[in-house]
Amino acid sequence: MSPKKNDPVAPPPVDGEWHIRFGTAEAAKGWQELENRAAANLRRAWDAMRTDPGPVQQTGRHERLKGSLSTGVRGGQVMARWQIEVTGGDRVWYLLDVEKHTVWIDYAGAHPKATE
């Protein structure tokens, strides 16, 4: 069965790791496409989201988005939006729900034009 909106990105977290869930059906589909294109890089992105989704030391490959893209709304709550560069042309965007210790993936796929 294919993952869908609100489904967890397996496996379940352990020892203080963050929950990772798909925020949209499109993000779940994009994640599967990234698995086919860049599995090892996507695994590294998953590891970063699971253990340190909002790093104090941002890099060009893992950073908080800026301007109007810097936040998103989920369940009526405004959350910080982050980006991980999976490959030179692929990105994962997610909202960080600190209160619920959950990462909500709201985009996975080719570099979005919105950041150009």
CATH of residue 41's domain is: 3.30.2310.20
Give domain status of residue 6, yes or no: no
Can you give the three-state secondary structure of 22-80, one letter per residue? ECCHHHHHHHHHHHHHHHHHHHHHHHHHHHCCCCCCCCCCEEECCHHHCEEEECCEEEE
Give domain status of residue 83, yes or no: yes
Give me the mean pLDDT over the 49-56 stretch. Answer: 96
Q: How many domains does the chain have?
A: 1
With a pLDDT cut of 90, the percent of the chain lying above it is 81
Confidence of residue 59 (pLDDT cuts 50, 70, 90): very high
CB count within 10 Å of CB 1 equals 4
* CA-only gyration radius of the chain, Å: 13
Q: Is the dihedral of CA 65, 67, 71, 72 positive or negative?
A: negative
CB count within 10 Å of CB 79 equals 21
Range of the domain at 71: 19-54+61-110
Give domain status of residue 72, yes or no: yes
Give domain status of residue 9, yes or no: no
How does DSSP classify residue 110?
E
Give me the mean pLDDT over the 43-72 stretch. Answer: 96
Give domain status of residue 38, yes or no: yes
pLDDT digits (tens, 9 = 90+) for 61-111: 999 999 999 999 999 999 999 999 999 999 999 999 999 999 999 999 998
The pTM of this model reads 0.89
The whole-number pLDDT of residue 72 equals 97
Which amino acid is residue 32, in one-letter code? Q
Give domain status of residue 8, yes or no: no
